[in-house]
Amino acid sequence: MIYQNILNGLCDIYNLPRIKVIFNKDYLTNPNAGGQYNFITNEIIIDENEQCIMEILFHEFRHYWQYRRYAKIFIWWTCRSMGLFHKLYWTKFCSIEEDARIFGNTLGESNRKDLLGLYSTEQLCYLRDNQTALRYAIDYVENFL
């Protein structure tokens, strides 16, 4: 299948083990998402009814890459941010999403890897629990980076 072949190519280019892509929205843990990289099953799931399959495939591959290269940050945002992930999803501050958005929308031509190392998980915990510091950090990332 063409999309599996493209995913295999991406895995090879980025020197990662090959993983499967499954087209079945019933496997999405978030029914509102068009796609998902599930790091438990190590699979990419895509809603078969989506229009922009290629962008979603690149976006979800990027999450797989993040999980392998920036595991702590990826896990923090997806499991430990306690609501910040959804609240800040569309901002640059949500580094894993901004990076995956740019990578997906440009089909791998660009990315925001620079954002992934900007904050450590310890700093993110501090920011999560300090609203004033968090507002300042969001403002900084949104306006100066």
Residues near Zn ion (CB under 5 A): 97, 100
Which is nearer to Zn ion, 95 or 137 (by Cβ)?
Answer: 95
Name 24's Cβ contacts closer than 8 Å, sequence gap at least 6. 45, 48
Which is nearer to Zn ion, 84 or 100 (by Cβ)?
Answer: 100
Min dist CB 96 to Zn ion, Å, is 7
Q: Is 22 exposed, middle or buried (0-12, 13-18, 19+ CB in 10 A)?
A: middle
Which is nearer to Zn ion, 28 or 126 (by Cβ)?
Answer: 28
Which is nearer to Zn ion, 34 or 127 (by Cβ)?
Answer: 34
Burial readout 27-53 (b: 16 or more C-beta within 10 A, e: otherwise):
ebeeeeebbbbbbeeebbbbbeeeeeb
Min dist CB 124 to Zn ion, Å, is 17
Neighbours of 77 (CB within 10 A): 22
Min dist CB 127 to Zn ion, Å, is 20
Min dist CB 59 to Zn ion, Å, is 6
Task: Report which residue's Cβ sits closest to Zn ion.
Answer: 100
